[in-house]
C-alpha cells in the first residue's frame, strides 16, 4: 500500500481537537501580550466559547461512520464520540467554575495559565478517547498528567498546594513508569503499537510463557492506570491533592481526569486483553485476572467509603467519595457485562453532574468562609435556602437515592454484576458501602439544615456558579427520572 500524503487524510474528524488546540495557542499569545491591568477572566470566557465550538463540531460528526486516519493511530468511533462529549461537557462546566473563582494566595499572576493549562489537559484527554495506538494513548495521557501536575500546584505560595503538587508529581511519575513498562512487554510480544494489530496477534498466543508475560503486562498497565483512577491502594495522593489544589482544579481532577482514566483503561484492557490468549487454559488474560480486579474493586469501595466517614474537611471527604465511586465503576469492569460501555458512560455522566454541582457549592462556601471544613456549612439553609436545597439534591444523587441519576448509574452496574457468572459478593459489598456513604453525605446535610449558622451574611452567586448549579440539578433529576434519554442519545452516536 502506497503512503498517503497528509492532504489525503480526512482531517475533519479531528475538528474538535483542532479547535481546542487553536484556542490554546490564542490564549497563550493573548496572555503574553495583554497588559497586566486587564482581567484575565476574559481568557476564561474565550475558553468556554472554544469548548462550545468544539462540542458543536463534535455534534456535526455524530452521523459519520467510524473513521481512522494517520494509519489507525486516530480513530473516531462511537466510543470516542460519546466519551469526548462527556469530557467537553465536564471541561465546560469546570471552566464556568474557574471564571467564577476568586484567585488568592499567589495565583494573581497565573490566572492566564490557569485557563490554557485546563484546555491542554482536556486536549490530552480527548486524544486518549480516539487513540488507536499505544503511542498516541501515552502522549494523550502525559499531556493530561503534566498539565494536571502544574494546575495542582499553581498556588505557589500556599504550602498545602505545594505539598499536594509534589506528591502528585512523584506518585504520577512512578505510575507512568510502571504503565510504560507494561506497554513495553506488550510491544515486545507483538512487535506493534497499534491496538487492533496487538489484539489480533495476542488472540493467537498459545505459548504458556507468553501468556505469563501477558499477565505481567496486564498487571503493570492496570497498576499504573489505577493511579489515574484513584483506586485503592493507589489512592493516597488524592486526598492531599484535592485539599491543596484550587477548587476548580479539584473538580477537574475528580471528573475530567477520572473519565480520561477509565477511557484509557477500557481502550487498552478491554480492546487488547479481552481477546488475548483465548486458549483452553482458562480463557483470556482479562478473565484470568478477574479475581484481582474484583479484589481491587471491593477494597476501593470499602476504603473510600469507610475513611470518608472520619473526614472533617469537605474536599478530603469528596476525595474519598471519588475513590469510592471509582470502586463502583471497577465493578462494571470486573463483571464485563453486555452493557459495559453504557454503564460506565452513564455513571460518569451522572457523576460529572453530581460532583461538579457539589463543587460549585463548595467553592462558594469556602471562598466566603476561608475554610473548607464541613462545620462551615452549618446553617447554610438559613443563609441561602437555594444553595442548601441544591446541595441537598446533589448529595442525595451521590448517595444513590431513587429518582436521581446516581441511582440509575448504580442500578446499571448492580444489574450488570449478575450478567453471566453472578458476582454475589461484589454486589453485596456495593450495596453495603453505598449504605455507609449515606452517613457522610447526610452528615453534610445535617450541618446545612439542622445546625445554627455561625454568621448570617448572605451569598452572592456569580453567573458561572449559577450555570453549573442549574445544569447539575436539572441533569441529575432528568436522567434519574428519564434515563432512556441518555440511551437514545448514545445510540445515535
- Boundary residue ending a domain (246, 262, 284): 284
**What pLDDT is recorded for position 205?**
66
Residues 270 and 140 in one domain: yes
The mean pLDDT value of the chain amounts to: 88
Residues 243 and 295 in one domain: no
**What pLDDT is recorded for position 3?**
54
Q: Which three cell numbers, joined as nine digits, stand for 123?
A: 486536549
In a domain, 3, yes or no: no
In a domain, 40, yes or no: yes
Residues 466 and 360 in one domain: yes
Residues 300 and 270 in one domain: no
Q: Which three cell numbers, joined as nine digits, stand for 78?
A: 462511537
On whether the CB atoms of residues 330 and 266 are closer than 8 A, the answer is no
- What's the pLDDT tens digit per position in 139-155? 999 999 999 999 988 88
DSSP β-bridge partners for residue 313: 373
Residues 241 and 315 in one domain: no
Residues 333 and 226 in one domain: no
Could you identify the residue written with the cell 453495603? Answer: 432
Residues 153 and 261 in one domain: yes
Residues 279 and 185 in one domain: yes
User: How many domains is the chain partitioned into structurally?
Assistant: 2
In a domain, 4, yes or no: no
pLDDT exceeds 70 at position 110: no
pLDDT exceeds 50 at position 280: no
What is the domain extent for residue 307?
289-493
Where do the DSSP E strands lie in 384-464?
A: none
- Boundary residue ending a domain (284, 301, 320): 284
Report the percent of the chain where pLDDT is more than 70.
94
In a domain, 63, yes or no: yes
In a domain, 436, yes or no: yes
Average pLDDT estimate for 124-137: 92
In a domain, 6, yes or no: no
- Boundary residue ending a domain (284, 315, 347): 284
The CB density around residue 153, as the number of other CB atoms within 10 Å, is 23
Among candidate residues 136, 329, 318, 139, the one with its CA nearest the CA of residue 231: 329
In a domain, 398, yes or no: yes
**What pLDDT is recorded for position 11?**
87
Residues 28 and 88 in one domain: yes
- What's the pLDDT tens digit per position in 457-486? 788 889 999 999 999 999 999 999 988 888
Residues 242 and 384 in one domain: no
Residues 199 and 231 in one domain: yes
Q: Which three cell numbers, joined as nine digits, stand for 257?
A: 481526569
Please write down the long-range contacts of 208-211, taking CB distance under 8 Å and 24 or more positions apart. 208/281, 210/277, 211/277, 211/279, 211/281, 211/285
Q: How far apart are CA 210 and CA 216, in angstroms?
A: 10
In a domain, 87, yes or no: yes
Residues 299 and 416 in one domain: yes
- What's the pLDDT tens digit per position in 211-234? 778 888 888 998 899 988 888 888
Q: Note the pTM of the prediction, 2 decimals.
A: 0.94
Average pLDDT estimate for 321-350: 91
Amino acid at each position: 500500500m502506497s503512503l498517503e500524503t497528509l492532504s489525503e487524510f480526512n482531517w475533519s474528524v479531528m475538528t474538535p481537537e483542532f479547535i481546542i488546540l487553536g484556542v490554546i495557542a490564542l490564549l497563550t499569545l493573548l496572555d503574553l501580550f495583554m497588559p497586566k491591568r486587564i482581567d484575565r477572566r476574559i481568557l476564561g470566557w474565550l475558553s468556554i466559547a472554544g469548548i462550545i465550538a468544539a462540542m458543536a463540531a463534535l455534534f456535526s460528526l455524530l452521523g459519520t461512520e467510524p473513521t481512522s486516519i494517520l494509519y489507525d493511530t486516530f480513530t473516531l468511533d462511537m466510543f470516542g464520540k460519546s466519551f469526548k462529549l462527556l469530557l467537553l461537557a465536564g471541561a465546560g462546566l469546570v471552566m464556568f467554575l474557574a471564571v467564577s473563582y476568586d484567585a488568592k494566595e499567589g495565583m494573581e499572576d497565573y490566572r492566564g495559565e490557569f485557563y490554557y493549562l485546563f484546555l491542554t489537559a482536556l486536549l490530552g484527554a480527548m486524544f486518549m478517547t480516539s487513540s488507536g495506538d499505544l503511542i498516541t494513548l501515552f502522549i494523550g495521557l502525559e499531556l493530561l498528567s503534566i498539565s494536571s501536575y502544574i494546575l495542582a500546584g499553581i498556588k505557589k505560595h500556599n504550602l498545602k498546594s505545594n505539598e499536594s503538587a509534589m506528591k502528585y508529581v512523584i506518585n504520577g511519575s512512578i505510575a507512568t513508569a510502571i504503565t510504560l513498562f507494561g506497554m513495553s512487554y506488550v510491544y515486545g510480544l507483538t512487535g506493534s503499537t497499534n491496538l487492533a494489530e496487538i489484539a489480533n496477534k495476542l488472540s493467537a498466543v498459545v505459548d504458556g510463557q507468553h501468556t505469563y508475560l501477558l499477565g505481567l503486562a496486564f498487571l503493570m498497565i492496570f497498576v499504573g492506570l489505577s493511579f489515574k483512577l484513584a483506586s485503592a491502594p493507589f489512592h493516597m495522593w488524592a486526598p492531599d491533592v484535592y485539599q491543596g489544589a484550587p477548587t476548580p482544579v479539584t473538580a477537574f481532577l475528580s471528573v475530567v481526569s477520572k473519565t480520561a482514566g477509565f477511557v484509557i483503561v477500557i481502550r487498552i484492557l478491554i480492546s487488547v486483553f479481552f481477546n488475548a490468549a483465548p486458549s483452553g487454559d482458562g480463557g483470556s488474560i482479562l478473565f484470568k485476572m478477574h479475581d484481582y480486579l474484583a479484589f481491587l474493586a471491593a477494597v476501593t469501595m470499602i476504603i473510600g467509603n469507610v475513611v470518608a466517614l472520619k473526614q472533617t474537611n469537605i474536599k478530603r471527604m469528596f476525595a474519598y467519595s471519588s475513590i469510592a465511586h471509582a470502586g463502583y465503576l471497577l465493578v462494571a469492569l470486573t463483571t464485563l457485562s453486555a452493557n459495559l460501555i453504557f454503564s460506565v458512560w452513564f455513571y460518569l455522566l451522572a457523576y460529572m453532574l453530581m460532583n461538579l454541582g457539589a463543587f460549585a457549592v463548595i467553592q462558594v462556601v469556602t471562598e466566603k468562609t476561608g475554610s473548607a471544613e464541613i462545620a462551615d456549612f452549618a446553617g447554610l439553609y438559613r443563609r441561602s435556602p437555594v444553595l442548601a436545597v441544591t446541595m441537598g439534591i446533589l448529595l442525595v444523587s451521590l448517595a444513590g437515592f431513587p429518582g436521581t441519576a446516581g441511582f440509575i448509574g448504580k442500578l446499571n452496574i448492580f444489574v450488570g454484576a449478575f450478567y453471566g457468572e453472578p458476582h454475589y459478593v461484589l454486589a453485596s459489598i456495593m450495596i453495603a458501602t453505598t449504605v455507609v456513604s449515606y452517613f457522610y453525605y447526610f452528615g453534610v446535610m445535617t450541618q446545612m439544615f439542622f445546625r445554627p449558622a455561625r454568621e448570617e451574611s448572605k451569598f452572592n452567586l456569580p453567573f458561572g456558579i449559577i450555570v453549573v448549579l442549574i445544569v447539575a440539578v436539572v441533569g441529575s433529576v432528568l436522567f434519574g427520572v428519564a434515563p432512556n434519554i441518555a440511551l437514545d442519545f448514545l445510540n445515535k452516536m
